[in-house]
Amino acid sequence: QTGMFTYDPGFLSTAACQSAITYIDGDKGELLYRGYPIEQLATNCDYLETCHLLLYGELPDAAQKKDFVSRVTNHTMVNEQMQFFLRGFRRDAHPMAIMTGLVGALSAFYHDSTDINNPAHRDIAAIRLIAKMPTLVAMAYKYTIGQPYMYPRNDLSYSGNFLHMMFATPCEEYKVNPVLERALDRIFILHADHEQNASTSTVRLCGSSGTNPFAAIAAGVACLWGPAHGGANEAALNMLGDIQKNGGIENIGEFIKQVKDKNSTVKLMGFGHRVYKNYDPRAKLMQETCKEVLHEMGLENDPLFKLAMALEKIALEDDYFVSRKLYPNVDFYSGIVQRAIGIPVPLFTAVFALARNVGWMAQLNEMIGDPEYKIGRPRQLFVGSVPREVKPMAER
Ligand code: SDX
């Protein structure tokens, strides 16, 4: 019994850690950040308020918010040297390959001044990472399309600044659309943390060695890239595109048949979850955001959105998915809404990493801040060979 939450002893024996940050009830489809339901945060707060909540445990009051926003805003530029790291990549490099490199490269500028055991140092590292991730993602994008980087602007909101760095050029101003700005901010909130998922566990394990937070976050970026995890939003959109190319809604039956085929490895990307065995609450909010953005962009008849809704309807009624408790997860609609905002498909997971960075940092902080923590050392069940003697080469 921990507070209002009860766990069966079997679960406790598998728990990787104790945390007070995010609570998920997979059977009920509930997600709470520091006790606040995700639905209320996504409706009543913005991303930087949510960052304050995840990092410090409380939503900020007006003065605290003003101070937090000012600290983040004043760290959005990156060292001018950072641009030279990008030149080592091919122009067609995947943005997540670039991001893994760039976030790790931040260590080169700050690790020697970051004592991971000093809470003040961890706090400035969190602020720097929250502030610089949008700048780095936008630089990765501009590099792949051969356009000059756009500097951050202190007069714009966090998500507005990201949109501006992504889509403005020195020759043409980009006017931030408030509907897109709010939608992107909500996407950041929905992706901010998710208890001990694969990339967060990677950051905890990596950080437990005492390495600097930039290196630990870079490990999280690398893990998130996988299609079974954060890469699923890109994979889900590519899947919808393939179905669309092969007959669209009329062809869904054929696709579902492939998914069900025992010998096929085809999965319904954006469906299923290690914990949610009910509807992912983030997916519902993402679908609403999708409708708002598609309406704003005059894309109500977007074929991929219609295809996604049709696919979801079929899956929610089909025994194969229902019996396996496979429901849409956060990644199912996030690709469609990002594409409607104008974010290119290869950037989707980098946007996920941008948003999840604060969750990684909050979880790393919580672990390092616990005086009992030690370096992580997952155990194994050895199923290999019994001890044996080495034979001389002639007898092998
Ligand atoms: C994220 O952990 C987190 O919190 C992650 C995340 C976060 O915020 O950090 O929520 C973000 O990663 C969301 C998940 C994104 N991934 C995808 O959408 C990829 C597609 N989903 C699958 O790869 C899968 O659902 C997982 C990996 C997400 C979850 O797998 P599980 O819970 O371990 O389920 P499983 O692999 O044991 O599958 C159980 C059954 C199997 O069939 P059987 O062997 O029983 O016949 O369900 C089938 C699976 O084949 N199955 C699917 C399926 N997912 C599971 N079949 C078709 N399509 C799918 N998507």
Interface confidence (ipTM) of the complex: 0.92
How close is the Cα of 55 to the center of ligand 1, in Å? 29
Confidence of residue 272 (pLDDT cuts 50, 70, 90): very high
pLDDT of residue 130: 98
Q: Is there a contact between 144 and 372 (Cβ–Cβ < 8 Å)?
A: no
Q: Scanning the structure block, which residue is given the tokens 């025992």?
A: 262
Q: Is there a contact between 21 and 195 (Cβ–Cβ < 8 Å)?
A: yes
pLDDT in tens, 166-225: 999 999 999 999 999 999 999 999 999 999 999 999 999 999 999 999 999 999 999 999
How close is the Cα of 126 to the center of ligand 1, in Å? 30
The mean of the pLDDT values for the chain is: 94
Report the alpha-carbon distance of residue 371 to residue 302 in Å, rounded. 52
Ligand 1: which residues within 6 Å by Cβ?
194, 197, 228-230, 232, 259, 267-275, 324, 326, 329-331
- Helical (H) or strand (E) element with 36: strand 36-37
Of 185, 193, 280, 331, the active-site residue reads 331
Helices 47-56 + 119-144 axis angle, to 10: 150
Nearest to residue 46, comparing CAs of 30, 56, 59? 59
Report the alpha-carbon distance of residue 68 to residue 230 in Å, rounded. 27
Helices 119-144 + 348-368 axis angle, to 10: 170
Q: What residue owns the CA closest to ligand 1's atom 8?
A: 194
Report the alpha-carbon distance of residue 21 to residue 33 in Å, rounded. 6
Q: What residue owns the CA closest to ligand 1's atom 26?
A: 273
- Which residues lie across from 33 on neighbouring strands? 22, 36
Count the neighbouring beta carbons within 10 Å of the beta carbon of residue 323.
8
How close is the Cα of 272 to the center of ligand 1, in Å? 4
Q: Is the pLDDT of residue 14 over 80?
A: no
Q: What residue owns the CA closest to ligand 1's atom 52?
A: 267
At position 34, the amino acid (one-letter code) is R
Confidence of residue 109 (pLDDT cuts 50, 70, 90): confident
Instruction: Assess whether 331 carries a catalytic annotation.
Output: yes
Best residue among 273, 314, 354, 356 to mutate for probing ligand 1, ranked by most atoms within 8 Å of CB: 273
- Which residues lie across from 169 on neighbouring strands? 172
Predicted TM-score (pTM) of the model is 0.93
pLDDT of residue 238: 93
Mean pLDDT of 344-372: 96
pLDDT of residue 3: 60
Best residue among 326, 336, 358 to mutate for probing ligand 1, ranked by most atoms within 8 Å of CB: 326
Mean pLDDT of 18-27: 94
pLDDT of residue 7: 76
Q: Which residue has the higher pLDDT, 365 or 110?
A: 365
Q: What residue owns the CA closest to ligand 1's atom 41?
A: 324
Confidence of residue 116 (pLDDT cuts 50, 70, 90): confident
Q: Scanning the structure block, which residue is given the tokens 């080469």?
A: 393
Mean pLDDT of 59-84: 97
Q: What residue owns the CA closest to ligand 1's atom 47?
A: 324
